[in-house]
Amino acid sequence: MTERSAQVTWQGDLMSGSGEIQEVPSGAFGPLQISWPSRAEDEHGGKTSPEELIAAAHAACFAMALAHGLAEAGHPPERLQTSATITFVPGTGITTSALTVVGTVPGIDEAAFLEAAEQAEEGCPVSGALKGNVELTLDARLAS
């Protein structure tokens, strides 16, 4: 069992207040500023948001699961470039996570790569946490 935690302090109301994600226990990032306008408007102003952090978690989880699947199938990757885009509709919630991957994988064909990517999308723990309430999409291709 693995536990990972993070702490946030918030001051004021939602619209005019602001928050800070404190330096995380690992020390890898933080403090990071958050606010409602930078979360819920198109312009993020260089600030992160819960949705961006979920995107980071999902892209990272997917990359790791795919690296594992490819290695198991005898095609260890040289490089995987993944991204996740989370769509947030204020008032409705988080509606989609769109994953993309461009892989550099010696000796694999497009079909086998796509199959491994689909399995990673299905099997990574963050996908497992999002599935059921969030639409997941996948766009996978090999680097040309």
**By CB under 8 A, what part of segment 28-87 binds other proteins?**
28-30, 32-34, 36, 39-42, 44-68, 70-71, 76-87
Find the binding residues for other proteins in span 100-119 (CB under 8 A): none
DSSP letter at 26 equals T
DSSP letter at 22 equals P
Q: How far is the CB of 120 from other proteins (least distance, A)?
A: 10
Residue 26 or 109: the one with the smaller Cβ distance to other proteins is 26
**CA angle centred on 15, ends 13 and 16, rounded to 5°:** 70
Q: How far is the CB of 91 from other proteins (least distance, A)?
A: 7
Q: Retrieve residue 135's tokens.
A: 């639409």
Q: How far is the CB of 142 from other proteins (least distance, A)?
A: 15
Bridge partner residues of 34 (DSSP):
19
CB under 8 A: which stretch of 92-100, 108-116, 136-144 binds other proteins?
92-100
Q: Retrieve residue 4's tokens.
A: 């990972």
